[in-house]
Amino acid sequence: MDDRIGKRFLQASVGFGGSCFQKDILNLVYLCETYGLHECAEYWNQVIVMNDYQKKRFSEKMVAKMFNTVTGKKIAILGYAFKKDTGDVRETPSMFVVRDLFAEGAEIHVYDPQVSREDMWYEMAYTCGISPDKDPKLDQNVITSESALAACEGSHSIAVLTEWDEFKTLDYEKIYASMAKPAFIFDGRNILDHDKLRDIGFEVHAIGKPDPNTFDDL
């Protein structure tokens, strides 16, 4: 069995990215349609539909939990590549979250140790059809930071979108002290210690985890 099927590869996240997986699924859709297997084609197409829904749901949840508006609020995006240990931004879920938050009027500060600003714009223009040339506000409201601490300083919320190991060991007490309050963390990869973060004072929301505003025994 392919060792990517299992805990090494299949993990909770804001959505899958990269050029290969989506392309392979769409190839399955095409083959099924070609052979008249319409129900099978729709089954596989729903994987793409659900992945798009997962990304949209994440950004919508951020807005909803932050009192239904992020206009003018600073949001730190930790991670832009579609997975750690690469600078590959093709079809990265972070791009769609950034697009949605930008549309909501947020001031977005992105930190990724291997992704350049130029690569961000290139993929966003190619996949989403938006660029600083078409919308000058994009260049003003989406800022690339040199460090995670710089991205988080003064922010209203943090969204962890790539599972970089360095995000697990950041000084979150220092980060919390520098943030606007209430301070939110949205863990799109489930890599952080949520109990410890709540003890510090963060309001933490994570993929597949109960809403802390609904359950008081987390």
What tokens appear for 51 in the block? 């992945």
Q: Cβ-count burial of 80 within 10 angstroms (0-12 exposed, 13-18 middle, 19+ buried)?
A: buried
End-to-end CA distance of the chain: 37
Handedness of CA 193, 195, 196, 201 (dihedral sign): positive
Q: How far is it, in rounded angstroms, from Cα 32 to Cα 208?
A: 31
Q: Which residues are catalytic?
A: 20
CB 174 within 8 A of CB 149: yes
CA distance 50 to 56: 10
